[in-house]
Amino acid sequence: MKPAIALEGISKSFPGVRALSEVSLTLYPGSVTALIGENGAGKSTLVKILTGIYQPDSGVIRVGETETAFPTALSAARAGVTAIHQETVLFDELSVAENIFLGHAPRNRFGLIDWKKLNADAAALLNRAGADFDPTIRLRDLGIARKHLVAIARALSVDARVVIMDEPTAALSHKEIHELYALIERLKADGKAILFISHKFDEIFRIADRYTVFRDGTMVGEGVIADVRQDDLVRMMVGRSVDSVYPKKEVGIGEPVLTVSGYRHPTEFEDINFELRRGEILGFYGLVGAGRSEFMQSLIGITRPSAGAIRLDGEVLVIRSPAEAIRAGIVYVPEERGRQGAIIGMPIFQNVTLPSLSHTSRTGFLRLANEFALAREYTSRLDLRAASLDQDVGTLSGGNQQKVVIAKWLATKPKVIILDEPTKGIDIGSKAAVHAFMSELAAQGLSVIMVSSEIPEIMGMSDRVIVMREGRIAGRFERSELTAEKLVRAAAGIEAQPEGRAA
Amino acid sequence: MAHAQLSPRTIPDRLQGRSARLLKSWEALLVVVATAIFLGNSLASPYFLDPWNLSDATFNFTEKAMIAFAMALVIISGEIDLSVASIIALASTAMGYAVQLGLDTPALVAIGLGVGLVCGAVNGLLITGLGLPSIVVTIGTMSLFRGLSFIVLGDQAFTGYPESFAWFGQGYVWWVFSFEFTLFVLLAVIYGVLLHKTNFGRAVYAIGNNQTAALFSGVRVARVKFALFLMTGLMAGLASICLTSRLGSTRPSIALGWELEVVTMVVLGGVNILGGSGTIPGVVLAALIMGMVTFGFGLLNVPGIVMSIFIGLLLISVIALPILWQRARRRLSQ
């Protein structure tokens, strides 16, 4: 069988990070290839290269027999590569038909859009995609599943030969997933080559014909699904020794500091119970969307739980706002650094001191000398690289911004610090500094909760790990019994671990 | 590992000294513009430098500037209050009504400030309580508050304010310094300290730059914003007292269109219309510039409509110039 598209020896680097090195990927017509890998393995980078958003530093892209390049997203689309993303990139205010034909709408003889033909063609495409709704309704009136169908109809309209589906089932219900499977079968029958990205093994074994596994930006395996077992795939995904690179210190773990019982929320999470002890790093692992961030934000009063209680040092606490959480000594370093963490446009020192102003000021009046002193103390402990403390935090690199954000929270002298994906998207050097510092904090008696989707980080840094899946605790593991396989199984719901095991 | 302990390099507090920062600031540019206009006016008209003439001229901007200080904080926080001129009308109408009931000056002042506070609270509740966008809410209350004045007054006017009430708009504290000008200076200092020297002011900047991150950092965003809308309401009430006292009468069209002049003053003063940056000294300078331009043109018998054209051009050019300058510099460096 001739490949529809083949990538050979593709490498791509970003400042400080080698995202892909010498990877290959081959997609065949009429066949579904699953791309498997942890977060950060390089899957998204590859998709962006395939769709012309990124340019590879080296390597070859072949479409059919000919060697080619995708210098723009448009050139990739012209070559018949189309992608359906987790969050669909469509236009809410336009009609379904307009979305399907955006950029290549049929014209009449005056050069204007031929609306009759547009809507008729759209209806035909929707029909092929297994959708039966009116193409003239506005996209915003559709649910997420139907938006996916529109995206698929759009893929059909450009006569794609390669269809990329990036976690297409993440937002779908059980029934909708089965409709999607049926649609994928139809696309296969049409001879499309499909790249299917998913974390869920049951889906991969249900729908894929071939697999390719990425780890740390390299390709570690490929083949036919029928010849492989789930365990083999899991091992390929995570197989490496990780403990050595992480500066985890052995710390005597003390008495319980934070006790969470019966936390629940109508839509995001349910039945969360755990204890956090002094000097402990408690890892929270799970797939994206497992409800970890939502739960953590309820601990600091951003979202309200519908039931549940927390105790800090034995005292029952009700936290209604982040200000109260900070006063109580619980702080949260958010995942979305640019939106929730750093205040771009303000100087470094003002970012650091914002939650601590009541300590640096006197009766509500600022004391700049105190602020500079506090900012200097904590930024230098994190080894911040900056020209001056009154520099706009927006001029720093991602890693250094993250150091400022962490410094901001530490300066409040908390009892419990919650770090949500603390090293996501930052360079290796800053990552090491954050890990070293986290370890140092625990050694000094701080209690740390670390939410992470990176297995090496979870395994390297945690004393205990709680795995969440679909808003519930799906597994609890002590450091001694941690294996990557167990984590992946619990997070993906393979042979679900009984709740409360070895807690 | 252990980067954290190995190299505690010292990062300096600031790279530039105070004077270097001041020289590069927007306020420095405004000082140049203000000086140029001052000199131009002095040369153009022999009457300009007379202390009493200058004193009279301050009435051009003092009332608007009072509101502009509070408005600067609102705009820095990323919001806007377009109802201020209508609050002036409603407060003035309430005071005029109270005069008909025979109330005296202290009660009138209390009513003026009280109506301002209540109007500000209505805005604040709609914006922070219901989470509505301030531009929509205050366009709505702009019509609402002035509409109420029209209902009460129709095409009538309230007059007959007590003599002691006239002092707020016509009285002098010392020599040529009117009550209004003294109040302007006092409020400039108060708002300058509030914005630049207090935790509250820092919270205003934080909200304007990134409201979500400010909330996560423990800033009580809703409370701060509510306080800001109370402040613009209170300042509009205060301006209403001064203006009503100066005019000696209330018509429903009082202070019509002032909200735009106040916003112009704030933006000319270097406050980013999108929020996050700006200073009170900048707003003070902008108030002086707008006052001098109006006064100078008045001395030269230039009609009012030409003045507003000039103010418009001034606003666009002071905003466009730095952007064009930066673009040109970037092109040169490439």
Q: Where are the domains of chain A?
A: 5-238, 241-329+415-428+441-503, 338-413
What secondary structure letter does DSSP report for A250?
A: P
H or E element: which one contains A420?
strand A416-420
> Which tens digits make up the pLDDT trace of A315-325?
999 999 999 99
Per-residue model confidence (pLDDT) at position B3: 40
Question: Tell me, what's the pLDDT at A13?
Answer: 84
The answer to whether the A5-238 and A241-329+415-428+441-503 domains have the same CATH topology is yes
**Range name among A239-243, B137-141, B214-218, B241-245 with the lowest pLDDT average:** A239-243
Per-residue pLDDT for B284 more than 90?
yes
Rg (CA), chain B: 22
Residue B200 CB-density burial (10 A; 0-12 exposed, 13-18 middle, 19+ buried): middle
The mean per-residue pLDDT over the stretch B68-95 comes to 97
Q: Within chain A, how many helices (H) and strands (E) appear?
A: 17, 20
- Each residue's pLDDT tens digit, A133-143: 888 999 888 87
Least confident of A297-311, B158-172, B300-314: B300-314
* pLDDT confidence of residue B133: 96
What rounded mean pLDDT belongs to chain B?
Answer: 90
pLDDT of residue B36: 92
Parse chain B into domains and list their residue ranges.
50-317
pLDDT attached to residue B180 = 95
Q: Tell me what pLDDT residue A244 has.
A: 46
Backbone angles phi, psi at A102, to 5 degrees: -55, 125
The number of beta carbons lying within 10 Å of the beta carbon of residue B143 is 11
Q: Is A440 on the interface with B (CB under 8 A)?
A: yes
3-class SS of residue A171:
coil
Taking all residues of chain A, what is their mean pLDDT, rounded to a whole number? 86
Average pLDDT over residues B71-95: 97
* Residue A326, token pair as written in the block: 């900070």
pLDDT band of B44, cuts 50, 70, 90 = confident
Burial class (CB in 10 A: 0-12, 13-18, 19+), A334: buried
- B223 contacts in A (CB within 8 Å)? none
pLDDT, mean of residues B314-321: 76
Let me know if A186 is exposed, middle or buried by CB neighbors in 10 A (0-12, 13-18, 19+). middle
Interface probe with A: pick from B10, B13, B215, most Cβ of A within 10 Å: B13
Q: Does A429 touch chain B (CB under 8 A)?
A: yes
Q: Which of B242, B210, B202, B228 is nearest to B88 (CA)?
A: B242
pLDDT of residue A502: 42
Question: What tens digit of pLDDT does each residue of B258-277 get?
Answer: 998 899 899 989 898 889 99
Is A173 at the interface with chain B, CB within 8 A? no
pLDDT for the residue numbered A194 = 93
Mean per-residue pLDDT for B30-38? 91
According to the model, what pLDDT value does residue B6 have?
39
| Residue recorded with tokens 């309430």 | B94
- Which element (helix H / strand E) includes A310? strand A307-312
Bridge partners (DSSP) listed for residue A196: A34, A165
At a CB cut-off of 8 Å and minimum separation 6, what does A362 contact?
none
Give the residue among A480, A484, A429 at the shortest CA–CA distance from A452.
A484
pLDDT of residue B177: 93
Question: What is the tens place of the pLDDT at every residue in B7-22?
Answer: 446 788 888 888 888 8
The secondary element (H helix, E strand) that includes residue A60 is strand A58-63
Which of A249, A293, A351, A357 is the mutation pick for testing B, counting most B CBs within 10 A? Answer: A357
Identify the CA nearest to B271 among candidates B259, B261, B283.
Answer: B283
The predicted model gives B91-112 an average pLDDT of 96
pLDDT (mean) for A196-200: 83
* CATH code for residues A5-238: 3.40.50.300
Would you tell me which residues 355-394 of chain A have a C-beta closer than 8 angstroms to some C-beta of chain B? 355, 357-358, 361, 364-366, 372, 376, 379-384, 386-391
Question: What was the pLDDT predicted at B157?
Answer: 92
**What pLDDT was estimated at residue B299?**
83
**DSSP letter, residue A395:** G
Cα separation, B155 vs A186, in Å, equals: 74
pTM for the model stands at: 0.77
Q: B4: pLDDT confidence band, cut at 50, 70 and 90?
A: very low
Mean pLDDT of B283-295: 91
Give the torsion sign (CA, A266, A270, A276, A281): negative
Q: Nearest CB to A343: which of B5, B14, B210? A: B210
A339 touches chain B (CB under 8 A): yes
In the prediction, which pLDDT does B25 show?
A: 81
**At the top level of CATH, which class does the domain B50-317 belong to?**
mainly alpha
A320 half-sphere exposure, CB direction, 13 A CA radius: 1
Q: Does A436 touch chain B (CB under 8 A)?
A: yes
pLDDT digits over A233-269, tens only? 877 877 654 444 677 777 788 899 999 999 999 888 9
- Say whether pLDDT at A39 is over 70: no
Q: Tens of pLDDT along A103-135?
A: 778 888 888 888 899 899 899 888 887 778 888
Of the given ranges (A52-56, B76-80, B162-166, B219-223), which has the lowest mean pLDDT? Answer: A52-56
Give CA separation, B330 vs A345, B21, B265, B325, B327, in Å. 20, 21, 29, 9, 5
Answer whether A415's CB lies under 8 Å from A360's CB. Answer: no
pLDDT at position B5 is: 39
d(CA B83, CA B139): 6
A457 pLDDT above the threshold of 60: yes
Is residue A97 within 8 A of residue A136, CB to CB? The reply is yes
Look at residue A88 in the predicted model and tell me its pLDDT: 56
User: Interface pTM (ipTM) of the complex?
Assistant: 0.87
* Chain B closest-CA separation from residue A464 CA (Å): 22
Instruction: Please state, for a pLDDT cut of 90, what percent of chain A lies above it.
Output: 39
Q: CATH for A241-329+415-428+441-503, among 3.20.20.70, 3.30.70.1340, 3.40.50.300, 3.90.870.10?
A: 3.40.50.300
Cβ–Cβ of A365/B276 closer than 8 Å? no
Residue B167 β-bridge partners: none
> Mean pLDDT, to the nearest integer, of A163-186?
79
Interface of B with A (CB under 8 A): 1-15, 197-202, 205-206, 209-210, 212-220, 276-277
Query: What is the band of A429 on the pLDDT scale with cuts at 50, 70, 90?
Result: low
